[in-house]
Structure 1
């Protein structure tokens, strides 16, 4: 399996005592996708058989699934079948086929960002990671402040007449709602976003100021986004994200499944707002959930361009990094990291390590 993964990554170094039979069929269905920046996190063996050929080798067939994950939590799934001859001192891979597969329930993240922050979006964001980092860095904070929690609690104790009398002036702004699908999809997989006035997707939303959603496919990573003029925490609508996969059966024989439901309401389920988080998923309890970077289950390597950009984005969000988020880890990035470490009681000379990563991304949802 390690040799097959190397072939998927276009890595020509090879595995000791493992070779590919040049007369066999070796197919990687996505020749253009190299899985660079993705770690193999799960290998599932679904079928295995072996047969004694009566000679010096044993014929074997291995079939299973591979799961890859990158620094921002994206996943890519593949299915593989490998035929090989097993000798006493070596392995010869006779045939190998690897194809992408559709996930069953891909996770989604939604963010609300001011429209002025995304001017020229189509020309500036050629890939998913750059777009994701930019949106997360600039998104609206959906965690309520302690003052907002107090005001909400006071309002809940008021009569209807008192609520109307004390209703604040509402300022509606132009926003984008941006939805990221965090699993890599196949070309025929479909994503659909529906905005309605209720949790039931069939209902309609009366305000005409919400534009139709637009969809982008960035090498298999899907983004849905729509523009609207509304007030966060005042105008209530529901954004449903549906997923229709190809090649797999959904539970209950359904054609599509709801994978995301978001609102422009802040997360009042928390009792105390995290002061360091400037961007969180739009609505839902995921705003206060810890992700793989904060938990330490995924390690960032700042020598990799995409990983460094994620760290720079987080440092910028917390006010420590003032330069452009370019993925180049230089003196400005090192200085910002040291300032963060000093401010949080960490050794500023320890460099990038897991303790710093977990502290940096605590409360970020990443």
Structure 2
């Protein structure tokens, strides 16, 4: 938001503490100001919160949020499977687990090893969840005993989870199609990023990623957005399967995520584009789309995460991708010479936890 030059006033609100209090404060803020107000979610929990209270909040705010019917599909990792398959798009085979598996459970026949994931990602991104699953987005399941043990362990935070077939990724071919689309799902702007480092490895969050030219991923990601008639900002994660070279959609993030700041390196500020579009300022949207330019490849760095990764892998320096980092334009998740506070705060909290 700092790049938009829009004045910002910070209010500390926590959905983990009291959702009702957050809603009341937002409505009060809305009522107290006659100015046009926009709410931009940056986490999965914020997306779901805004959708739950959409009818009340829309009286005071413009919401940077996809339509509710589309949102309900993309945030539900089990429902997303059927929707994508109905359009001829690939998604890893998944089964729903909503109670502890018994001795007669047919889940014993499901492929092993496989992944255990939350149906709703936000459930594994809370303070309580961190104590149970740490930074993991998935849990590896090797047999039925693993499944029983892990389901019992995580049931306090996720009553419904999915077992998902592991798609063996080809080399570093893990991509994200980053896009902005109109109300009919037509792509207004898009670009492709490639994950270079994930933490935890293979099934984690991006620590280092770069923009790439990949027509195949761009076209497949566009098909996904068009098929869902998705409106707004999105990150569609796509991987290439080793051996078959087939493409699989892994997930769709319906929010402003950290790496989308790479859009500014490509001449397009997605946050500002979203705000203009939601406010109905079509002249501003057209102006942005007409004058954007593609610059040389850029790299995004989770600065704190990258530092920790480098420390943990001191004996394997080839994994750092130093050459790629040095030779590219760079965007950072937190670091800024204008305001060091987010960087220092996160660094302190991470190392305190370690």
TM-score, normalised on structure 1?
A: 0.27
More helix per residue: 1 or 2? 2
